[in-house]
Every structure is written in structure tokens, then in C-alpha cells.
Structure 1
Amino acid sequence: MNLPGLFKKARYQRFHIEPRYYDPIKEDIENRTARIKAEMGLSDTETIDPGYKSKIEGSFRKNMKHATGSGVDQTVMLRLLIMVILVMMIAGYVYVGIEIFYLVLLTIPFYLWRRFKR
């Protein structure tokens, strides 16, 4: 039994999501039947290219081919450089003290000046 009140009680929120499944066999069967119907002239829908392949099939491999190259090597080197700098700063702080941070702060403008000078 609910008593009347000034405020509404918060109800719990329900989360409902319908999962989407990808069935490559079913998609292949649908593509083949549509292609056969288009060749026989049984369907008035759009014709499907005979060389049609699934949109999802192999798309990740194609993107990975584009991703590999000089860009990936540069990001790996940049990460390595940042990691080495951080390790050197921590080691410098342990052995030298706070002065290592002042040294780094002095070298940053010099590096930027050299970088933009080119």
C-alpha cells in the first residue's frame, strides 16, 4: 500500500538491447539466391553484381594492410621515446633530485627552437 507523498520514488531503469548477430553462411545464401533470381529475371529488385562479395568478409584484413607501414613504426618509436624519457626522469629524480625537472624544463624550449628552426 502506497502512502501519498510530495516526492515520487525513483524507479529502477531497465536496460534492454537487442543483440545483432552476423551469420556469414546465411548472408552468402541470400546473396546467391538473389543473384540467381536476378539472372533468371524472376525478381524486379535491383540486380546484384556477379562479383559481389560480403561487405564484412575480409574488411578487417584490408584495413590492417593500410594500417601497416611507416605510420605504425613512427608511433611505436614515439611511445618508446616517451617511455625512455619518463624512465630517465624517474631515475634522475631518484639519483639527482628535483633539479632534473628544472633541467628538462630548460631543454624543452631549446628542442622546440631547433624543431621550428628547420
Structure 2
Amino acid sequence: MMKLPSLVKKPKYQRFRIEPRYYDPIKEDIENRTSRIKAEMGMMEDEIDAGYRSQISGSFRKNMKHAKGGGVDQTVMLRLIILIVLVLFAGGFLYIGTEVFYLALLYIPFYLWKKFRK
């Protein structure tokens, strides 16, 4: 069966996914030893990670500006325009008749000529 296109976007179901956490005493012991050895040698993790943290925070700020955008998504705006055009055609067909389609055939080339003339 073929799916028909729709103007309304249906929400997708979210699945519950849990990742179990395990306690590994050997791994914790190794991490404690390596951090103690690094502290004795004078290599603090803060000095190593400071460069990475500033890069990460800067990239988050840059992407947040991009993510905000203009507010209305382009696909939502396109669907709204298509819906308005369809309603206008249906109303024009009921009010005027088949002449609406002939008027559209005259108007569309004029609109495209005017748009691409610039």
C-alpha cells in the first residue's frame, strides 16, 4: 500500500532506553593511581584540559546562535504556503469556476519573470 503525502507532521514515538551502569573496582583503583601519579609529577588535569574546555564552550556558543535561527522552520513555512495556495485555489474554483486555473497559468509565468529579472 502506498503512503499518501500529508501536510501534517506526525510525532514519532520515543523509546525508553536505559544503559545499566556497572561498578568496576579495578578500573576505579587504576584511575586513582594514575591521578595520584600525575599529581606527584606535577601534571594536573586542569592544565591539560583547559585548552579543550575553552574550545568546546566556544563551539557550543557558536552553534546555539545557528540553532536559534529565525524562529519558524523553513519546512513549516513551505507547508503553510502550500496550504494557503490550495485553499485559495479551492475558494477561487467555487467562487469563479475553472477560470481560476487559467488565471494561475497567466500569473505564474509573470511572477517568475518578475522574480528572476532582478
* Band of TM-score, shorter chain: 0.3 to 0.5
When you count helix as a share of all residues, which structure comes out higher? 2
